[in-house]
C-alpha cells in the first residue's frame, strides 16, 4: 500500500510542477514550476510506459486476433476507422516527461536518469512508430509554442531509437551511474542500473530483428544484442503497482458485470485448445475459464470446453449472459488485480534468439532457445512443472533441431506474447502467414490491416503535417 500511495503522490507532484512547453501541453499552468522533482519524473515515466503498451494492445490485440468483440462487425475486429487518442496522448505525454527528465538529469550530472530516459524514449517511440509509421519527434520537444511539428520518417525514427539505446547503455555502464536511481521511484526495475542495461539490449535485439524483410537485416547483430539481454524471467520489464488494479483486471470485472468487451478470439482459443495444432496448451486455463453448457452457433455443447468468438461475427450464443464463449476472466494470470503489466520479457527474447539463430544456420542454438522460450513463458504463468514437461515433449512441439521452422517459432511466440503489440509487428513481418489465420468476418478492407489511423486530435490540430495514408499501407520495414 505504501508503494501505491508513493506512486500517486509522485505523479500528482509532477503534474502540478511540470511546466515545459511542448506541443501537447495545451493546458499548461503559466505559474507552475519548471523544475519538477526528478524522482517524480522517474516514477511517472516508469509507470506510464507499460500503460502505453497496454493502450496500444487494446487496439492491436484485435488485429492479431487475441481478442474479439462480442458485437457483430466490431470496429477493431473488422479494420474500421479507429481513434486511438488515448494511446497517442499518453505516449506523447510520457515522451514529454522523458525529455524533461533527460534535461534536468543532464543539468544535475545524474547520468543514470539520462540513460533510463534514452531507453524509455526509444521504447515509446518504437511502439508508436510500429503502429502509425511517421511521427512528430525532432520538432516536438524543443520548447516554444510549436503546436504543429513536422513528422519524421519511419526509417529516421527507427535509427533514432537504436542511437538512443546505445547512448543509454553507454551512460548506464559508466561507474558514475551506480546507485543513482531512486529505487522507490523506479516502478520497472527498482533502481537497478544493471537491469536497465539488460532491458536496453533486449529492446535493441527486438528492433534489430524487426527488419527481417530488409537486406540490411543482420542475424549476427541480433544475437550480439541477445548475448547481453535478458537471461531469466526475473529480468522482465513490467510493473505490478497500480492505483487501483491492472487495467486488464478492470476489463475482466466489466465482463463479469456484463459490460462486454475483450473476449477471446476464436483464433487464439483454437491455437491453444488443440483445434489447430493438435496439442493442448496448459497456458490457456491460466488465461480464461472453460465454458458452461449451452448453444454456440446453433449447436448445443456440454460444459468444460474452450471456445472463442470469431472476429467480426460477434456473440454466438443465444443471449449475452450465456458463458458459451471465453473471455478475459477475473483473477486469471493476466487479469488479476496485481497481475504484471508487461513491456518486454525473457520469453520474447528467447524467441528472438531462436529466429535469429535459425536464420543464421545455428540450428542447435535456435532449437534450445525455442524450447527455453516456451518454458520461460509457462513458468511465468505458473503452469505446473509436469504440464510444462508434457507440452514441451509432445511430438508437435519437440520436433528436434533439424526440423525447427520459423512457423513453429512464431506460433509459440504468438502465445508467449499474448496481449503484446509486438505480435502485430511479427504478423506483418510474416505477412499473417500463421496456420489457420484468416481475415475477420465482415472486414472493411479487402486484405489484412497494416497500420492504424492517426487520432482525431492530431488530424484536427496538426492536420497539415499528418501524412496521407491508407490502413493497408505497408510500413517501411514491412515491404
Locate cell 542454438: which residue? 365
Q: Which cell numbers hold the place of 283?
A: 497456458
Beta-bridge partners for 239: 341
Beta-bridge partners for 309: 265
Question: What pLDDT, in 10s, does the model give residues 318-354?
Answer: 655 678 999 999 999 999 999 999 999 999 999 999 9
DSSP 393-455: TSTTT---GGG--HHHHHHHHHHHTTT-THHHHHHHHTTT--TT--PPTT-SSSS---SPPPP
Identify the band that residue 6 occupies on the pLDDT scale cut at 50, 70 and 90: very low
Identify the band that residue 27 occupies on the pLDDT scale cut at 50, 70 and 90: very low
Res 322: pLDDT: 74
Averaged pLDDT, 170-199: 97
58: Cα within 13 Å, side-chain hemisphere = 20
Locate cell 509457462: which residue? 378
Cα Rg for the chain, rounded, in angstroms? 22
What crossing angle do the helices spanning 346-359 and 363-380 adopt, rounded to 10°? 160
DSSP 360-390: TT-HHHHHHHHHHHHHHHHHHTT--HHHHHH
Question: What pLDDT, in 10s, does the model give residues 231-284?
Answer: 999 999 999 999 999 999 998 998 777 767 789 999 999 999 999 999 999 999
In degrees and rounded to multiples of 5, residue 240 shows phi and psi of -130, 5
Res 32: pLDDT: 35
Res 85: pLDDT: 96
Question: What pLDDT, in 10s, does the model give residues 80-135?
Answer: 999 999 999 999 999 999 999 999 999 999 999 999 999 999 999 999 999 999 99
Identify the band that residue 19 occupies on the pLDDT scale cut at 50, 70 and 90: very low
325: Cα within 13 Å, side-chain hemisphere = 32
Q: Is the pLDDT of residue 34 over 60?
A: no
Q: Which cell numbers hold the place of 415?
A: 502465445
Res 318: pLDDT: 67
CB–CB of 42/78 below 8 Å?
no
Q: Is the pLDDT of residue 444 over 80?
A: yes
Locate cell 488465461: which residue? 287
Res 260: pLDDT: 72
Res 21: pLDDT: 41
Res 28: pLDDT: 37
CB–CB of 240/268 below 8 Å?
no
Q: Is the pLDDT of residue 212 over 80?
A: yes
Higher pLDDT among residues 21 and 87, named by residue:
87
> How far is Cα 477 from Cα 443, in angstroms, rounded to an integer?
24
Res 146: pLDDT: 74
Percent of the chain whose predicted confidence (pLDDT) is above 90: 85
Averaged pLDDT, 25-48: 69
Averaged pLDDT, 290-297: 91
Classify residue 151 by burial, with Cβ atoms within 10 Å: 0-12, 13-18, 19+. buried
Pairing of strands 151-152, 237-239: unpaired
CB within 8 A of 131, min separation 6: which ones?
A: 56, 59, 60, 84, 87, 421, 424, 451, 452
Locate cell 465482463: which residue? 255
Domains of the chain: 2-235+442-461 (1.25.40.390)
> How far is Cα 205 from Cα 226, in angstroms, rounded to an integer?
6
CB–CB of 390/397 below 8 Å?
no
Nearest to 345 by CA among 240, 232, 248: 232
Beta-bridge partners for 301: 294
CB–CB of 327/263 below 8 Å?
yes
Nearest to 464 by CA among 454, 451, 472, 473: 454
CB–CB of 33/49 below 8 Å?
no
Q: Is the pLDDT of residue 12 over 80?
A: no
Identify the band that residue 16 occupies on the pLDDT scale cut at 50, 70 and 90: very low
DSSP 300-364: EE-SS----B-TTT---SSSTT---S-BPPTTSTTSSTT--EEEE-HHHHHHHHHHHHHHTT-HH
CB within 8 A of 158, min separation 6: which ones?
A: 126, 129, 207, 210, 211, 476, 477
- For the chain, the helix, strand and coil percentages under 3-state DSSP, each to the nearest 5: 50, 5, 45
Q: Is the pLDDT of residue 23 over 70?
A: no
> How far is Cα 452 from Cα 91, in angstroms, rounded to an integer?
15
Averaged pLDDT, 176-180: 95
> How far is Cα 130 from Cα 211, in angstroms, rounded to an integer?
11
Res 36: pLDDT: 64
Q: Which cell numbers hold the place of 38?
A: 526528478
What is the overall mean pLDDT for the chain? 91
Res 458: pLDDT: 94
Identify the band that residue 10 occupies on the pLDDT scale cut at 50, 70 and 90: very low
Q: Is the pLDDT of residue 433 over 70?
A: yes
CB within 8 A of 189, min separation 6: which ones?
A: 46, 195, 196, 199, 237
In degrees and rounded to multiples of 5, residue 161 shows phi and psi of -60, -45
Q: Is the pLDDT of residue 30 over 50?
A: no
Q: Is the pLDDT of residue 25 over 70?
A: no
Averaged pLDDT, 350-362: 98
Q: Which cell numbers hold the place of 139?
A: 520538432
Amino acid at each position: 500500500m505504501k508503494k501505491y500511495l508513493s506512486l500517486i503522490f509522485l505523479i500528482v507532484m509532477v503534474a502540478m510542477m511540470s511546466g515545459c512547453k511542448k506541443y501537447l501541453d495545451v493546458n499548461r499552468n503559466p505559474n507552475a514550476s519548471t523544475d519538477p522533482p526528478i524522482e517524480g519524473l522517474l516514477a511517472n515515466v516508469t509507470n506510464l510506459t507499460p500503460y502505453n503498451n497496454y493502450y496500444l494492445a487494446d487496439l492491436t490485440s484485435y488485429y492479431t486476433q487475441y481478442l474479439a468483440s462480442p458485437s457483430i462487425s466490431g470496429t477493431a475486429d473488422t479494420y474500421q476507422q479507429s481513434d486511438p487518442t488515448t494511446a497517442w496522448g499518453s505516449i506523447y505525454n510520457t515522451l514529454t516527461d522523458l525529455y524533461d527528465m533527460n534535461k534536468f538529469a543532464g543539468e544535475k550530472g545524474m547520468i543514470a536518469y539520462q540513460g533510463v530516459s534514452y531507453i524509455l524514449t526509444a521504447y515509446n517511440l518504437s511502439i508508436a512508430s510500429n503502429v502509425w509509421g511517421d511521427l512528430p519527434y525532432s520538432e516536438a520537444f524543443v520548447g516554444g509554442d510549436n503546436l504543429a511539428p513536422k513528422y519524421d520518417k519511419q526509417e529516421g525514427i527507427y535509427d533514432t531509437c537504436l542511437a538512443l539505446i546505445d547512448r543509454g547503455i553507454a551512460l548506464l555502464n559508466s561507474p558514475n551511474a551506480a546507485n543513482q536511481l531512486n529505487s522507490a521511484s523506479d516502478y520497472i526495475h527498482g533502481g537497478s542500473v544493471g537491469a536497465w542495461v539488460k532491458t536496453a539490449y533486449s529492446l535493441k535485439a527486438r528492433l534489430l530483428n524487426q527488419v527481417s524483410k530488409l537486406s540490411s537485416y543482420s542475424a549476427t547483430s541480433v544475437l550480439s544484442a541477445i548475448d547481453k539481454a535478458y537471461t531469466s524471467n526475473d529480468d522482465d520489464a513490467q510493473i505490478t503497482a497500480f492505483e487501483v488494479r491492472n487495467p486488464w483486471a478492470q476489463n475482466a470485472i466489466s465482463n463479469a458485470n456484463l459490460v462486454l468487451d475483450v473476449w477471446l478470439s476464436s483464433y487464439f482459443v483454437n491455437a491453444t485448445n488443440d483445434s489447430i495444432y493438435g496439442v493442448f496448451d496448459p497456458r490457456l486455463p491460466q488465461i480464461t475459464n472453460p465454458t458452461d453448457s449451452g448453444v454456440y452457433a446453433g449447436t448445443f455443447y456440454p460444459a468444460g470446453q474452450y471456445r472463442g468468438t470469431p472476429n467480426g461475427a460477434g456473440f454466438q450464443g443465444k443471449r449475452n449472459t450465456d458463458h458459451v464463449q471465453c473471455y478475459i476472466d477475473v483473477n486469471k494470470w493476466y487479469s488479476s488485480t496485481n497481475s504484471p503489466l508487461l513491456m518486454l520479457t525473457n520469453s520474447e527474447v528467447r524467441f528472438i534468439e531462436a529466429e535469429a539463430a535459425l536464420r543464421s544456420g545455428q540450428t542447435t542454438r535456435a532449437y534450445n532457445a525455442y524450447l527455453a522460450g516456451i518454458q520461460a513463458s509457462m513458468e511465468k504463468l505458473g503452469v505446473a512443472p509436469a504440464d510444462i514437461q508434457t507440452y514441451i515433449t509432445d511430438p508437435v512441439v519437440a520436433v528436434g533441431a533439424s526440423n525447427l521452422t520459423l512457423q513453429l517459432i512464431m506460433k509459440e511466440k504468438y502465445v508467449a506474447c499474448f496481449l503484446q503489440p509486438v505480435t502485430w509487428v511479427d504478423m506483418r513481418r510474416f505477412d499473417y502467414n500463421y496456420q489457420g489465420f484468416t481475415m475477420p468476418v465482415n472486414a472493411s478492407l479487402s486484405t489484412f490491416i497494416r497500420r492504424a489511423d492517426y487520432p482525431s486530435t492530431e488530424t484536427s490540430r496538426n492536420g497539415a503535417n499528418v501524412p496521407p495514408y491508407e490502413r493497408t499501407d505497408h510500413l517501411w520495414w514491412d515491404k
